[in-house]
């Protein structure tokens, strides 16, 4: 169980990371803070590119950093945007790859928790590795 103080700490960490976002086109900085089941923390920010499809979301940056360090079991991720926006479809799918029970905290730039749900709730009927025929 994650406490209210732990949630706020993750939101604050994501909000701090958000300041480093590279968003010269959208001007919509996003920060993420991911806690793995082992307790390690990874942050991410959105990184835009003049070739728009090459842009990377904050959530995926944090996830890929964790995976590159050998972590694949996640407990909770916080996402901070100006208005408490939700992860995009691509980020939802990447989160689903590593666990439908991961808690997703969505907060605004004031650090206020706007919504909390699991990946399963964010992406009903998710396509996961179990769907692949072996």
Residue 130 has pLDDT above 80, yes or no: yes
Using alpha carbons, list the distances in angstroms from residue 91 to 55, 82, 134.
12, 18, 25
Q: What is the mean pLDDT of the chain?
A: 97
Residue 115: domain span: 4-131
pLDDT digit string (tens) for 110-125?
999 999 999 999 999 9
Residue 31 has pLDDT above 80, yes or no: yes
Using alpha carbons, list the distances in angstroms from residue 42 to 121, 125, 127.
23, 27, 25
For the domain that residue 30 is a member of, what is the CATH number?
3.40.140.10
Band (17; pLDDT cuts 50, 70, 90): very high
Band (1; pLDDT cuts 50, 70, 90): confident
Q: Rg (Cα) of the chain, in Å, rounded? A: 14
Classify 12 as helix, strand or coil. Answer: helix
Please give the positions annotated as active site. Answer: 59
pLDDT digit string (tens) for 44-68?
999 999 999 999 999 999 999 999 9
Residue 20 Rama label (left phi>0; alpha psi -120 to 50; beta)? alpha
Q: How many domains does the chain have?
A: 1
Give the per-residue pLDDT at 133. Answer: 78
């Amino acid at each position: 169980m994650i406490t209210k103080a732990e949630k706020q700490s993750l939101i604050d960490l994501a909000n701090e990371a958000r300041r480093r976002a590279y968003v010269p086109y959208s001007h919509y900085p996003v920060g993420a803070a991911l806690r793995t089941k082992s307790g390690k923390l990874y942050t991410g920010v959105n990184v835009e590119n003049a070739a728009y499809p090459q842009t990377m979301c904050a959530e995926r940056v944090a996830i890929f950093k964790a995976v590159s360090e050998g972590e694949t079991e996640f407990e909770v991720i916080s996402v901070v945007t100006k208005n408490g926006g939700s992860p995009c479809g691509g980020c939802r799918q990447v989160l689903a790859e590593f666990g439908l029970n991961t808690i997703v905290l969505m907060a605004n730039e004031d650090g206020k928790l706007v919504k909390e749900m699991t990946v399963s709730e964010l992406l009903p009927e998710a396509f996961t590795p179990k769907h692949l025929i072996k």
